[in-house]
Amino acid sequence: PLRLILFPARPGQERTEQPPGSVLGSLDVLKVAAGEGTVVEVREVQPAGKRRMSAAELLRGRRPLPGDRLGPG
C-alpha cells in the first residue's frame, strides 16, 4: 500500500457520497473524501521514505486511483 504524509489541505467546493478516505482523483491536486460528504484538496504529500512533493508530482508518477482508500494500513 502507498503510505503518505498529507500536508495542510483545503476544503474543496464539491460534495461526495464516498466514504471518508476515498481518493476521488484529480490531475493537479489529490482530492479525498472527508466526513459528512465534504471533499478536501491536498496539495503537498510525502510518500514514505521519499521527499516532500506537490500532489501534482505524485499524480504524475505512482497515481492513487479513484476508489483507493487512505487511512490506517
Report pLDDT digits (tens) over 2-16. Answer: 788 989 899 999 999
For 43, residues 6+ apart whose C-beta sits below 8 A from its C-beta are 7, 8, 9, 10, 29, 30, 54, 55
All cell numbers assigned to 71: 487511512
**What CA–CA distance (Å, rounded) separates 73 from 53?**
22
What is the per-residue pLDDT across 20-71, written as a single tens digit (0 to 9) for each?
999 998 788 999 999 999 999 999 999 889 999 999 999 888 778 888 888 7
pTM summary value: 0.84
For residue 66, count other CB atoms closer than 10 A to its CB. 12
Residue 52: per-residue pLDDT: 97
**DSSP tag of 16:** -
> What pLDDT is recorded for position 27?
82
